[in-house]
């Protein structure tokens, strides 16, 4: 297995993208990644397309995306892992290069989620765990799932609604500075607390939105990177992965995600690092409680201290680890198939020190982490990057 590095990244504008087809949306990210790597379509040996595809008009998006992007003879392969689809696509591309199957691979994630209305989207999401025993009988949707985690965390650790709100406030501060984010504005704790209830204690601003978007990452083997004379390759040090039960009633508790903990332990061991070594991270904040649990599950904060962690500014620039400087899923947007790769896009930019003033993390060790969850912990991926 050879060392694999990232040589090109791209991301589309996130939001409600009724101005483009799914092919055009994917091409926005692919084109930027190719330009970023200094490559042409002919240099890509295989394309891995990540798309949940549950809300779009294209049931099989890999072939039309590849055709439009100029990769008609480059595969393709499609992967799906719910909200962690982008990370799964990267894992496949990484392993194909690491094993020597190909020298250069492209992972592209794309989703057009606004092809259906909100009620339909929620119903589709509710089928994302265990359809018969949760959605069919009880109508459970994703806000309800994460409200179970929020109320449990609040009951056991006295986490407050104000601490949840601080997650959105922090992430919106950076989304306001991200020209590709869906929501480019700042917000206050009071505005979060006064937003309309969705599923108590989660309010509108505690929840990520329905998003269209695409992201792409080009990976290559170390020998190829040397030949290409890449100035600042970002190395994939480790990819940790895990899963959990489809039916959440079979889980051990509702204050953490087992898939995160297992994937994180695997990634740290493979990379030979500890949580304290990570300087900048993108974590899966589909809801504000999800980010607080991620602090704890990833080892950045003690169990039950995630609320204090955000309150003390430890997840902000200047704290222990700068988290979600892209705006996160809450501010940047959450197009399922693209989310994991958009995390990598942000972290590569951070490690190259290419971010705007006020959004660039100060780095000494140049170690970054991406944490991507599918469903309510059904899939878990933790990727460690190093420059």
Beta strands across the sheet bearing 367-374: 77-79, 46-50, 104-112, 212-221, 4-11, 234-243, 379-386, 367-374, 280-282, 322-323
pLDDT over 80 at 13, yes or no: yes
pLDDT over 90 at 39, yes or no: yes
Among 66-75, 142-151, 276-285, 287-296, the range scoring the smallest mean pLDDT is 66-75
pLDDT number for residue 122:
82
Confidence band for 258, pLDDT divided at 50, 70 and 90: very high
pLDDT number for residue 99:
97
Is 153 noted as a catalytic residue in this protein?
A: no
Q: Which of 284, 334, 371, 378 is catalytic?
A: 334
Tell me: the pLDDT tens digits for 197-210? 999 999 999 999 99
Confidence band for 131, pLDDT divided at 50, 70 and 90: confident
pLDDT number for residue 244:
94
Among 57-66, 111-120, 131-140, 157-166, the range scoring the smallest mean pLDDT is 131-140
The whole-angstrom distance between residue 276's C-alpha and the CA centroid of its chain comes to 21
pLDDT number for residue 27:
98
pLDDT number for residue 123:
82
Distance CA 27, CA 36 (A): 14
pLDDT number for residue 373:
97
Confidence band for 29, pLDDT divided at 50, 70 and 90: very high
Tell me: the pLDDT tens digits for 270-311? 999 999 999 999 999 999 999 999 999 999 999 999 999 999
Confidence band for 228, pLDDT divided at 50, 70 and 90: very high
pLDDT number for residue 127:
78
The DSSP annotation for 211-252 comes to -EEEEEEEEEEHHHHHHHT-SS-EEEEEEEEEE--SSGGGSS
As a whole-number percent, the residues of the chain with pLDDT over 90 amount to 85
pLDDT number for residue 215:
98
pLDDT number for residue 330:
98
Bridge-partner residues for 5, per DSSP? 220, 235
pLDDT over 90 at 138, yes or no: no
Give the residue among 97, 102, 89 at the shortest CA–CA distance from 3.
97
Confidence band for 72, pLDDT divided at 50, 70 and 90: confident
Tell me: the pLDDT tens digits for 166-189? 999 999 999 999 999 999 999 999
pLDDT number for residue 270:
98
pLDDT over 90 at 76, yes or no: no
Is 378 noted as a catalytic residue in this protein?
A: no
Confidence band for 54, pLDDT divided at 50, 70 and 90: confident
Task: Give me the torsion for CA of 222, 223, 229, 233, rounded to 10°.
Answer: 0
Domains of the chain as residue ranges with CATH: 4-116+210-228 (3.40.47.10)
Q: Which of 83, 207, 284, 286 is catalytic?
A: 83
pLDDT over 80 at 128, yes or no: no
Q: How many CA atoms lie within 13 A of 128 on its CB side?
A: 30
pLDDT number for residue 166:
98
Q: What is the mean pLDDT of residues 90-96?
A: 98
Structure tokens that stand for 200 in this block: 């108590």
pLDDT number for residue 201:
97
| Strand 46-50 with 104-112, pairing | parallel
Q: What is the mean pLDDT of residues 307-327?
A: 98
Confidence band for 53, pLDDT divided at 50, 70 and 90: confident
Q: What angle do CA 101, 107, 110 make, to 5 degrees?
A: 150
Distance CA 212, CA 361 (A): 27
Distance CA 22, CA 4 (A): 29
Distance CA 9, CA 219 (A): 9
Could you give the residue ranges of the DSSP H alpha helices within 131-242?
A: 137-138, 142-157, 161-175, 189-194, 222-228
Structure tokens that stand for 375 in this block: 């469903």
76 prior amide bond cis, ω within 30: yes
pLDDT number for residue 51:
96
Model's pTM, two decimal places?
0.97
Summary mean pLDDT of the chain: 95
Burial (CB count within 10 angstroms: exposed 0-12, middle 13-18, buried 19+), residue 193: middle
pLDDT number for residue 137:
82
Confidence band for 141, pLDDT divided at 50, 70 and 90: confident
């Amino acid at each position: 297995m050879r060392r694999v590095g990232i040589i090109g990244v791209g991301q589309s504008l996130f939001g409600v993208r009724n101005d483009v087809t799914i092919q055009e949306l994917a091409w926005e990210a692919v084109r930027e990644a190719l330009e970023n790597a200094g490559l042409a379509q002919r240099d890509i040996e295989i394309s891995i397309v990540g798309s949940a595809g549950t809300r779009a008009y294209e049931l099989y998006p890999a072939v039309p995306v590849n055709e439009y992007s100029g990769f008609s003879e480059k595969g393709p392969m499609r992967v799906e892992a719910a909200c962690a689809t982008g990370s799964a696509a990267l894992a496949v591309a990484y392993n194909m290069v690491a094993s020597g199957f190909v020298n250069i691979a492209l992972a592209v994630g794309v989703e057009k989620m606004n092809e259906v209305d909100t009620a339909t989207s929620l119903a589709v999401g509710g089928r994302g765990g265990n359809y018969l025993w949760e959605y069919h009988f009880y109508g459970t949707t994703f806000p309800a799932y994460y409200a179970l985690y929020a109320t449990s965390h609040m009951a056991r650790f006295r986490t407050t609604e104000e601490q949840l709100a601080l997650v959105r406030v922090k992430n919106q501060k950076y989304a306001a500075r991200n020209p590709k984010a869906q929501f480019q504005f700042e917000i206050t704790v009071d505005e979060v607390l006064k937003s309309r209830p969705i599923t108590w204690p989660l309010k509108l601003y505690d929840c990520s939105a329905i998003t269209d978007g695409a992201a792409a990452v080009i990976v290559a083997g170390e020998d190829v990177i040397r030949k290409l004379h890449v100035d600042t390759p970002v190395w994939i040090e480790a990819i940790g992965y895990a899963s959990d039960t489809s039916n959440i009633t079979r889980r051990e508790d509702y204050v953490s995600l087992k898939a995160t903990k297992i994937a994180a332990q695997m990634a740290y061991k493979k990379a030979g690092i500890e949580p304290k070594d990570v300087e900048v991270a993108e974590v899966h904040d589909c809801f504000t409680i999800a980010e607080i649990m991620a602090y704890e599950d990833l080892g950045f904060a003690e169990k039950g201290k995630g609320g204090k962690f955000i309150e003390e500014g430890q997840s902000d620039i200047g704290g222990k680890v700068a988290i979600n400087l892209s705006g996160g899923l809450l501010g940047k947007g959450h197009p399922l198939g693209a989310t994991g790769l958009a995390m990598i896009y942000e972290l590569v930019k951070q490690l190259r020190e290419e971010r705007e003033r006020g959004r660039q993390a100060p780095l000494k060790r140049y170690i970054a982490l991406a944490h991507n969850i599918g469903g309510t912990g059904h899939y878990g991926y933790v990727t460690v990057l190093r420059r």
